[in-house]
């Protein structure tokens, strides 16, 4: 790389820290950072233990795999991620997508099913890492907000419905509402009473704790921040209550399903089984999990970073999440990403650096070593209640109404995503949503908005004749182009120009006002050339005004401007001043010519 005069070259350390952010924040680590990170780690660890178990159950995996997915992935993200407060680990949507993908390979509980979950983590890690290295973070932009919102809402409803079987203590299978709801109705008569009491009590307590617990604790003269911390760790109290109820009331004998023995110890590092057939079968699912997880994670990270005026690098986040998923694949876990609730708790608890994630990993590792015997009597219904309450906060039905009011196009994309996800499954739902959003965008831009504009009296501004009282020229027509010109709309644009000119035989100048044109592709250029040639034959000059610099740069590479019958104007006002003079001169010449003919005509 050649250094330009006055240009400061980045040091080797700066370039190194760009790809290994721990170098940057680690060299400035302070004692007060340690205090904040340790406190946040303790609180997040307490919160993450029941979440890890619950989300592993949601993914159809043994509970210890949830703990494994919360150890090394956190360390890997702390080394390579750019967010100071993002808490990585198992999340509800990724767990549901893992269950759907692995369930297409093998039955839950089988070694093949677990192998598929490990392979998903490995493939997701490789995909995210490759996207980060090649700076492909922009691909996530194809997941529009309405599609993501609709997908998460539908996924939340499916997850909540799928956990009702644990609340009622019945056996139900399926991955869509069409499969789950009929089975719930058919087996409702088999409900286990004690299980229902435990599950319903846990749901009521967890919902109440979101608002009532904090008020109660503040009433007991705890500080607002302390009360908030206890409120966010309410699932731990539900877990403790469920365990005590089973142990002292002998509810296992009454048919209440419990977690049972959870193996103690840390996961062994091992390469997942590299089966070409398995990798081929799961690569598409892994790509979807990667994209959805990345969008969710970056959204959370950027929201929290903005509160402290910090910066998150999306492409480096891909690398951070990629290494976290690779770590999950090599340590017996399954796909992970950043979770909103955990990250918010981590932020509010005072986490200052990603070291809080490392300390959290240490806490989970200690739990995996020493606390698993305590989890033996944990009712499955409590874990189901934890999941239901957590995912229902993701359901945003009001977004449907907002989309309907604001944009019918976004409403269609959102509703298509919701309906397909609910009825056909999460993978097809997200793919249909993305496809719908792209098709609707192409349709919208293929019929872009054009406006005939005139001058607002007494000003130099030009506005749409249908919205404002404006002055129009008799021989100049100005069309404001409100969209880039590309292959999908070039023919529509061409036909519109011909129609407007045909309806106005007095027009001698056409001005294309281009303040909103950000790009003209080869098809758009071909249409401009055709318009220029056809208008020339009709005696109409073509002009451009307010063309953006990058667009002009590209036009200058062609011979279009040399063949242009008119001019390119910096401002529309300048164009009208010039062309109105030409119109006046033409009118004067026409009048003189008419008088001359009348004078030379023979008398009566």
In the predicted model, is pLDDT for residue 491 greater than 70? yes
Looking at every residue in the chain, the average pLDDT score rounds to 90
Q: Are 188 and 434 in contact (CB under 8 A)?
A: no
Could you tell me if residue 275 is inside a domain?
yes
* Per-residue confidence (pLDDT) for residue 489, from 0 to 100: 94
Q: What is the dihedral of CA 258, 263, 265, 269, to 10 degrees?
A: -120
Q: Let me know whether 210 and 313 are in one domain.
A: yes
In the predicted model, is pLDDT for residue 303 greater than 60? yes
In the predicted model, is pLDDT for residue 8 greater than 60? no
Span 570-586, average pLDDT: 89
Q: Let me know whether 419 and 512 are in one domain.
A: no
Q: Let me know whether 311 and 458 are in one domain.
A: no
SS3 for 494-555, per residue? HHHHHHHHHCCCCCCEEEEECCCCCCECHHHHHHHHHHHHHHHHCCCEEEEECCCHHHHHHH
What is the rounded CA–CA span in Å between residue 38 and residue 493?
62
* Per-residue confidence (pLDDT) for residue 2, from 0 to 100: 46
Q: Let me know whether 476 and 410 are in one domain.
A: no
Compute the residue count for the chain.
Answer: 604
Instruction: For residue 382, give the nearest of 210, 245, 535, 544 by alpha carbon.
Output: 245
What is the rounded CA–CA span in Å between residue 205 and residue 408?
39
In the predicted model, is pLDDT for residue 15 greater than 90? no
Per-position b or e across 93-117, b if 16+ CB within 10 A of its CB = bbbbbbbbbbbebbeeeeeebbbbb
Our count of domains for the chain comes to 2
Q: Let me know whether 202 and 170 are in one domain.
A: yes
Give this prediction's pTM: 0.85
* Per-residue confidence (pLDDT) for residue 55, from 0 to 100: 95
Could you tell me if residue 443 is inside a domain?
no
Domain that holds residue 561: 450-597
pLDDT band at 272 (very low <50, low <70, confident <90, very high): confident
Q: Let me know whether 304 and 405 are in one domain.
A: yes
Q: Let me know whether 426 and 466 are in one domain.
A: no
Mind listing the pLDDT tens digit for each residue in 61-81?
999 999 999 999 999 999 999
* Per-residue confidence (pLDDT) for residue 468, from 0 to 100: 94
CA distances from 564 to 436, 445, 543 (A): 39, 26, 8
Tell me the β-bridge partners of 512. Answer: 479, 544
Task: Give the SS3 label for residue 603.
Answer: coil
What is the rounded CA–CA span in Å between residue 549 and residue 283?
42
Q: Do strands 568-569 and 541-545 pair parallel, antiparallel, or not at all (unpaired)?
A: parallel
In the predicted model, is pLDDT for residue 41 greater than 60? yes
* Per-residue confidence (pLDDT) for residue 328, from 0 to 100: 96
């Amino acid at each position: 790389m050649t250094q330009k005069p006055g240009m400061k070259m980045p040091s080797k350390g700066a370039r190194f820290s760009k790809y290994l952010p721990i170098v940057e924040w680690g060299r400035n680590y302070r004692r007060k950072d340690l205090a904040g990170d340790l406190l946040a780690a303790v609180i997040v660890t307490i919160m993450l233990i029941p979440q890890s178990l619950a989300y592993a159950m949601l993914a159809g995996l043994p509970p210890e795999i949830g703990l494994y997915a919360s150890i090394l992935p956190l360390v890997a993200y702390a080394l390579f991620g750019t967010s100071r407060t993002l808490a990585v680990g198992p999340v509800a949507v990724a767990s549901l997508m893992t269950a759907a993908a692995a369930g297409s390979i093998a039955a839950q509980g089988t070694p093949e099913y677990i192998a598929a979950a490990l392979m998903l983590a490995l493939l997701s890690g490789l995909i995210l890492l490759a996207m980060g290295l090649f700076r492909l973070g922009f691909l996530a932009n194809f997941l529009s907000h309405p599609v993501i919102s609709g997908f998460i809402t539908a996924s939340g409803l499916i997850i909540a419905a799928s956990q009702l079987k644990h609340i009622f203590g019945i056996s139900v299978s399926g991955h869509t509402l069409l499969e789950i709801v009929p089975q719930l109705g058919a087996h409702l008569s088999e409900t286990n009473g004690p299980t229902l009491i435990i599950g319903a009590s846990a749901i009521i307590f967890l919902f109440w704790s979101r608002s009532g617990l904090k008020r109660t604790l503040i009433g007991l003269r705890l500080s607002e921040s302390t009360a908030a911390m206890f409120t966010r760790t309410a699932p731990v109290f539900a877990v403790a209550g469920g365990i005590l109820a089973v142990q002292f009331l002998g509810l296992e004998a009454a048919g209440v399903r419990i977690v049972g023995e959870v193996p103690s110890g840390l996961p062994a590092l091992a390469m997942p089984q590299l089966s070409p057939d398995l990798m081929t079968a799961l690569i598409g699912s892994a790509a979807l999990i990667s994209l959805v997880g990345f969008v969710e994670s970056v959204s959370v990270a950027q929201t929290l970073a903005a509160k402290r005026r910090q910066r998150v690098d999306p492409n480096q986040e891909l690398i951070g999440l990629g290494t976290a998923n690779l770590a999950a694949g090599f340590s017996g876990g399954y796909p992970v990403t950043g979770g909103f609730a955990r990250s918010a708790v981590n932020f509010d608890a005072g986490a200052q650096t990603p070291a809080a994630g490392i300390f959290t990993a240490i806490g989970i590792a200690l739990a995996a070593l020493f606390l698993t015997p305590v989890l033996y009597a944990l009712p499955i219904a409590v874990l189901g209640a934890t999941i239901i309450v957590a995912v229902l906060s993701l359901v945003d039905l009001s977004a449907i109404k907002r989309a309907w009011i604001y944009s019918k196009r976004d409403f269609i994309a959102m509703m298509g995503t919701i309906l397909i996800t609910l009825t056909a499954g999460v993978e097809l739902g997200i793919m249909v949503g993305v496809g719908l959003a792209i098709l609707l965008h192409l349709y919208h831009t293929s019929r872009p908005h054009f406006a005939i504009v005139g001058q607002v009296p007494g000003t130099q501004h030009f506005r749409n004749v249908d919205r404002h009282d404006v002055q129009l020229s008799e021989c100049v027509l100005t069309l404001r182009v409100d969209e880039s010109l590309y292959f999908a709309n070039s023919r529509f644009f061409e036909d519109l120009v011909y129609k407007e000119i045909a309806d106005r035989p007095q027009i001698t100048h056409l001005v294309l006002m281009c303040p909103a044109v950000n790009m003209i592709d080869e098809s758009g250029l071909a249409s401009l050339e055709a318009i220029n040639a056809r208008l020339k034959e009709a005696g109409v000059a073509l002009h451009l005004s307010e063309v953006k610099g990058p667009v002009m740069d590209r036009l200058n590479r062609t011979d279009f401007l040399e063949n242009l019958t008119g001019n390119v104007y910096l401002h529309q006002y300048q164009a009208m001043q010039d062309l109105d003079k030409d119109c006046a001169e033409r009118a004067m010449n026409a009048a003189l010519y008419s008088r001359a003919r009348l004078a030379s005509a023979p008398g009566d």
